[in-house]
Amino acid sequence: MKVLVTGANGQLGKDLVKFLAKDHEVYGLGRDQLDITNANQCSLVIGELKPEVIIHCAAYTAVDLAETEEDIAYKINAFGTRNLAVAAEKINAKLCYISTDYVFDGTSSKPYREYDNTNPQSVYSKSKRAGEQLVQTLTSRYFIVRTSWLYGLFGANFVKTMLQLAQERDTLKVVSDQVGSPTYTVDLACFLEQLVQTERYGIYHASNTGFCSWFEFACAIFEESGLKTKVESCTTEEFPRPAPRPCYSVMEQMAIRANGFEYLRPWREGLKEFLKELVVNNC
């Protein structure tokens, strides 16, 4: 299978390229090789490479900064996605768009299903939802994969931040009123490989199974790492941020179940594996 991965220098993109390269012909393109905001360049590069599948990981992900950089967020997440969708459709390639749990407002008390109404609350989440809509409108062979709370070996993430802070402080405060599903990039990459080889198109929710609060996640990180750092719970109000976060973003994985795929492993098992990987790579 010939696969083009956008955002190949990012947290998910790097792991995805590494994972896919074992069995497939992979073109991992970063911003320097493919500026997704340039429609002509998208058409030219994709037209020349002619991938069977495009996995679109490139995104503007600075959630708080997006509140003051709205045009940039939309230029990348919406119009950049549009450019890829148009180019993919020209060569009849499958397009897999990586989206986010943030497209929901977080007011539910039960897991969100794939076709529940979205209600994004921040500029970032609205721009990602716009990207979803453009993919649905402009392509005939698409997968939209919403994921949550990503962490991996490359780039900054919550797990790395907690481990770093544990070296600097004896006690940490972490919010306990935001609940979601932590997701290990390698586990998501494994699912994406399986998905894009099929024609089971549509919207998918894909995160490691189970859920926790950020406070519970932090406690688990320290427990699995053998660290004695004390963690205190606090509320979102105590740590105000420019962009609102969904209080509850647990996602039901009906599409995975209905289409015969296997769930990603439980989040704590993914965390254990990641922490081992950090040690092996001396990170």
- List residues with catalytic annotation: 124
- Residue 88 burial (CB < 10 Å; 0-12/13-18/19+)? buried
Q: Is 48 exposed, middle or buried (0-12, 13-18, 19+ CB in 10 A)?
A: exposed
Q: Which residues pair with residue 232 across a beta bridge?
A: 173
